[in-house]
Structure 1
Amino acid sequence: MTNFRLHSLVANAKQMIRLHNKHQPDVPRGYLAVYVGEIQKKRFVVPLSYLDQPLFQDLLRRSEEEYGFNHPMGGLTIPCQEKAFIDLTALLQIS
């Protein structure tokens, strides 16, 4: 059940990324733009390979719980502190 939900979550995120990137030509192929922050949202461009990482998938789950698939910024919005997101992506770059 959890595996199916995770697969569905990643598939929906990928579909949203494809639609979003059509309108954002400054996002290189193989990357996605996300908006991070609790109050003030900041835009980050991260590699699609992060979608396969369990730590990033946890962020996607939190995003789904907070926003469903209706993201206020028009792109994938992740509800976490900017510093926590930067720390997490630094870990993902190392692994």
Structure 2
Amino acid sequence: MGIIRLPSMISNAKHFSKLQSLRNRNYTDVPKGYLAIYVGEFQKRRLVVPISFLEQPLFQDLLRRSEEEFGFDHSMGGLTIHCTEDAFMDLTSRLPIS
């Protein structure tokens, strides 16, 4: 049976809750220090994430792989990452918010 780290689970739950609330904001309402992106393989969902994610190696790797496979020039007009929303949420839940 695996080890469950309670502080990590609480931190991830808070992080997910913050991303969910930011996702539900008006499309033109991106707070200072955040970046709007589109995530999804087919149906794109707009998410708002902290700019500090751009400094994280895991996030940079995701961006690099998405750029290599799909490029960044998309009809959505914003940064688009081609991966499932679940995979994106899993990856970002492991990143520190600064």
State the superposition RMSD in angstroms: 1.9
The 3 A distance-change label for structure 1 pair 94 and 49 is closer
What's the TM-score, normalizing by structure 2? 0.65
Which residue matches 2:65? 62
Equivalence map 1:23-62=2 (5 Å): 25-62=28-65
2:94 counterpart SS class? helix
* Alpha-carbon distance, 1:59 to partner: 1.3
> Which consecutive unaligned segments of at least 5 residues does structure 1 have?
1-23
- Number of equivalences: 72
1:53-92 equivalence runs, <5 A: 53-92=56-95
One-letter code aligned to 1:62: R
Flag the structure with higher helix content: 1
Fraction of identical pairs, as percent: 72
Structure index of larger Rg: 2
Counterpart Cα distance in 1 of 2:62 and 2:81: 7
Q: Which 4+ residue blocks in structure 1 deviate beyond 2 angstroms?
A: 66-69
- Separation (CA, whole Å) in 2 of partners of 1:88 and 1:94: 13
